[in-house]
Amino acid sequence: MRRGTAKVLVTGFEPFGGEDINPSWEICRDLPEAIGATRIHVLQVPCEFRAAIEVVAGEIERLEPSVVLSLGQAGGRAAMSVERVAINVDDARIDDNAGNAPVDEPVASGGPAAYFATVPVKAMVAAMREAEVPAIVSNTAGTFVCNHLMYGVLHFLAASGRPARAGFVHVPWLDAQALARPGEPSMALATMVRGTEAAIAAALANAIDLKESGGALD
């Protein structure tokens, strides 16, 4: 790779909760190697508290990317959801893949209550919709490993003074996963890959987010 080439790190999780696949990692596997002049690097992340942050932080130190975009499965959601905020709490309803299930514990002891995503959330949603991919701004990343990783990455970047911007996108079940869940929403892999590419391009192109409504009443 040429010295100075811009880089984006995209992460996806291993399967968890009894699933055989995780759409977040399947998306990563199908992403192109580059978008324009920017190289795309992908990383599979363990679905484990603590370990997830450690793995991604190590890759950030190695790559020094300009953008870090993490993906995670949110079964039951009908749209790709660009997360606005991560909160400093772990409250697991199920075990992670190492058998951990923290309840009401901080992601980072002494850390702020929350971090906002530093990528242009609304610009990313607009670009995804322009690519004909259902997408929304989400105001909750949950309290499982997805929120844990989003908060942990933003905390690591803030504490280390690194200039990379970071965010998180939750994705629906794949069509194959929804077969065992009649009536539950799903999305084709190709559609989610297209949406992720659009989100990355928007994150790279927009230093300042759009000033338009993306709020919710609930």
> Which residues are known catalytic residues?
83, 146, 170
Dist CA 200 CA 179 (whole Å): 29
Dist CA 96 CA 198 (whole Å): 30
Structure tokens at 105: 């514990």
What are the backbone dihedrals phi and psi of residue 63, each rounded to the nearest 5 degrees, phi first? -90, -35
Which is nearest to 124 in space by CA: 26, 6, 9, 209? 209
Supply the angle between the helices 189-205 and 23-30 in degrees, to the nearest 10. 70
3-class DSSP assignment, residue 105: strand
